[in-house]
Amino acid sequence: MSLLQLGLSLDRSGITAAVLDAEGRQHRLERAPVPTGYAALLAAVAELADRADPTRTLSFGLAIPGSIAPLSRRVRNCNLVHLNGHDLHPDLEAATGRKVRLGNDADCLALSEARDGAGRFGRVVFGVILGAGVGGGVMIDGLPLTGAGGSGGEWGHSPLPWPRPEEVPGPRCWCGLEGCMEQWVSIPALERDHHRLARPARPVRLPEIVRQANDGAAAARSALENYVNRLGRGLAALCNLIDPEVIVLGGEGADLGLLYDQLPDAIAPYVISDGSSAVLVKAAHGTASIARGAAWLWPGAAMAQA
C-alpha cells in the first residue's frame, strides 16, 4: 500500500509524527520529547522522521506554533522562542535530507479536522489549540484563511474581549504585549489563576484542579469558572467576526468535558446576532490531529510554505 505523506507537529510538550495513506488512514504515530536549543531540535525532528519513515522516501509537513515571515522566510511569533529568527525551512531540509513544508499548528489542526475530522461537515471551521499555548486556524470551503502575511487566525494574540477592571492590563505575554488570549486561556494560565486563588504549597496541574473542583474546592471551581468565562468571551468575539459553523477544540484543554456543556452559555451574552449557531466539538483525531494536518500540507498544499 502506497503511503500518502508524513506529518510532524511541534510544541512545548513534544514532537509528534503521523504517517497517512491516500484515504487518510493512520499507519504510524510516533512521539519524542522536544529538546532545548535549535541544533538539537533539528536533530530530534530528523530522528523522529526517520523512525516514522525508515525508508527515508517521504517528504513531510511540519506544524509549528508560529509562522513564517513572507519576506525574510524566517520563523516569527513562535512560543518556542529559540526558533524565532531562524531560516527553518532550508535548515530542516539539510538536517533531514527530505523535502519539507511548514505550516502553523492551529492552521494544521483546522485543516485536519475540516478535511476528515470533527469539522468535515462545516463550511466555516475554526480550530482552537488550548495547550501550553493558544492558537487559532480558519478553514473556509476547505481552504485555509492564512491571510496576506501568513498570520490569519492568530487568535491567541488578540486581546481578551470585554475585560473586567481586574483584568486590565492583563499578564504580559512572551510576544511583548499584555492581555493576549494566550495569557488567559492556555493551560498554564488556568493553573496560574488557580495558584493565585488557592495559594497551594506546590504547583497544581490541570487534572488535580478538575478533581478538586469535583470535590467542591472553592478555589478550583472559581478557576474553572474564570477560564470558561474568558474562553467564552474570546470565542464570542471570533463568532462575531467570522460566524463559524463549527468550532473544534484541540490540545489538553479539549479534554475538559465541562467546556462542551458550559461554553455555549458563556458565549451567548456577547454574540451580536440572535445567538451563535456554531457547534462546539472536540478534535476527532485527538493528539494526532495537528500532525495529520501537517501531512496534508503536501497534496493540494494551499497552506504550504516551501
CATH code at 3-105+288-295: 3.30.420.40
Instruction: Give the CATH class of 118-283.
Output: alpha beta
Residue range 174-184, pLDDT digits in tens: 889 999 999 99
Residue 213 C-alpha cell reads as 473542583
pLDDT at 35: 92
pLDDT at 16: 96
* Tens digits of pLDDT across the chain (306 residues): 455 789 999 988 899 999 998 788 888 899 999 998 999 999 999 999 999 999 898 999 999 998 888 888 999 888 888 899 999 999 999 999 999 999 999 999 999 999 999 999 999 999 999 999 999 999 999 888 888 877 788 899 999 999 999 999 999 998 899 999 999 999 999 999 999 999 999 999 999 999 999 999 999 999 999 999 999 999 999 999 999 999 999 999 999 999 999 999 999 999 987 767 889 999 999 999 999 999 999 864 334 443
- Note whether 3-105+288-295 and 118-283 share their fold: yes
Domain spans of the chain? 3-105+288-295, 118-283
